[in-house]
Structure 1
């Protein structure tokens, strides 16, 4: 079994998924509302993953400089941020340009 965190499943879920994921969702939504490109979301998640790993280290005595745990946190945060970015961008496109686009699903739009 692959361990997602050196602190345990509950700490991983609360700190990385709930708190870090909430921050990732809000950051990606903000970037999408400002019409920023997706690569900026990926860059911001690198920083947020570092902050989440620091909190694992500072609060629960986790390993700070572990590439594996950093990568796991980054992938989780990037997935949540990617979902938030796409949801927000889809809503933007169909509400701001209703004569051009119609919603074809929660994460996509189509030409009218």
Structure 2
């Protein structure tokens, strides 16, 4: 790993985002509503009733070190971000299939 790409942070350090929070805080509720109404990314969600939304916390993950064949890793990585999640999903599917009761012939 190239040393210039390593970034060290202490626990509790905050990264500066690109959101202009002062501008957001200065907006009225009407301005926020108008901004949302004009946002094309919001169009698919504007008619959803969020009052019954349920927060689902993902299962805790445990960091491990695992050796896999290079071509297997590249296969998952070429699919884009989230390759570790996809590997986990494949392993979970295998685990669930193995845990099913065996059918008797």
TM-score w.r.t. the length of structure 1 is: 0.23
Larger Rg: 2
Task: Answer 1 or 2: which has greater strand percent.
Answer: 1
User: Highest relative contact order (Cα 8 Å, sep 6+), 1 or 2?
Assistant: 1
Decide which structure has greater helix share: 1
- How does the TM-score come out when normalised to structure 2? 0.24
